[in-house]
Amino acid sequence: MVKEIRIYIEGGGDGKNTKAFLRQGFRSFFKELVQVAQSKKIKWDITLCGSRNNAFRDFKNALADHPNAFIILLVDSEAPVKLKQRPWEHLKSRDNWDSPAGVDETHCYLMVQAMEAWFMADIETLKKFYGQGFKENAIPKKSNVETIEKDLLERSLKAASRDTKSKGEYQKIQHASKLLEMLDVDKVRKASSECDRIFTTLTELMEQAK
């Protein structure tokens, strides 16, 4: 029975403050899961690790340091994921990362192809956040946001927000946390199967706790 969940996430830059800021954004995005954890008296911890290599390192260290916790790695896929290719297979082929012994796919999740894909799933929130001057037509309209090329994600967000008066051009460190807090999670889950998988898997895992 799980008593603690620890999530290690790529992102947040190199500074303590920027990591703390983005950590709050992810905690808000995962609010539904946090509430289940609290109701089941399951400890919940999110760590922003900076680079993807640091995230993988911290994930592996946590497996050794917290043997009684359920440890999760959440990183960008950085590229399209081949049909039916599992997350660890993708990370092996792209980054040459081997899944640690005894660790299956329930411990590994991808933001496909990067975190900004989740923002594309909820254009209404983008419009609300950026306000006047936001160019909605610059955002790719895809029912499956995981098919949007990584290079296009940030570029299209910058193009759409460049002329907004209140926020200005998209800046990951300044804007991503607030956007995560505002996103309609149901829209993101419908547009990203990997996002849906993390919610489904963790909900089922925690519901097994008494």
DSSP annotation string for 112-167: SS-THHHHHT-HHHHHHHH-TT--GGGS---SSGGGS-HHHHHHHHHHHHTT-SSS
Residue 209: pLDDT over 90? no
Q: Is 1 helix (H, G, I), strand (E, B) or coil?
A: coil
Token pair of 4, please?
């603690």
Q: What is the DSSP string of 26-53?
A: HHHHTHHHHHHHHHTT-EEEEEE-BSHH
Query: Among candidates 198, 15, 201, 19, which has minimal Cα distance to 110?
Result: 198
């505002």: which residue's tokens? 182
How confident is the model over 73-88, as a mean pLDDT?
Answer: 96
pLDDT in tens, 93-137: 999 999 999 999 999 999 999 999 999 999 999 999 999 999 999
The mean predicted confidence, pLDDT, of the chain is 96
């899961």: which residue's tokens? 33
Please state, in angstroms and as integers, the Cα–Cα distance from residue 209 to each residue in 24, 71, 149, following that order: 26, 16, 39
The values of phi and psi at residue 4, to 5°, are: -155, 140
Residue 210: pLDDT over 80? no
Q: Is 210 exposed, middle or buried (0-12, 13-18, 19+ CB in 10 A)?
A: exposed
How confident is the model over 195-207, as a mean pLDDT?
Answer: 97
The domains of the chain are located at 4-112+192-207, 117-178
**197 Cβ contact list (under 8 Å, min separation 6):** 109
Domain 4-112+192-207 carries which CATH code?
3.40.50
* Torsion sign, CA atoms 165, 153, 74, 97: negative
Token pair of 43, please?
């400890």
pLDDT band at 14 (very low <50, low <70, confident <90, very high): confident
Rg (the chain; Cα; Å): 17
Q: Is 16 helix (H, G, I), strand (E, B) or coil?
A: helix
What pLDDT shows up at residue 105?
A: 97
pLDDT in tens, 134-147: 999 999 999 999 99
> Residue 177 CB: number of other CB atoms within 10 A?
23
What pLDDT shows up at residue 1?
A: 85
Token pair of 70, please?
């359920």
Residue 5: pLDDT over 70? yes
Token pair of 64, please?
């050794």
The values of phi and psi at residue 71, to 5°, are: -100, 135
How confident is the model over 33-52, as a mean pLDDT?
Answer: 97
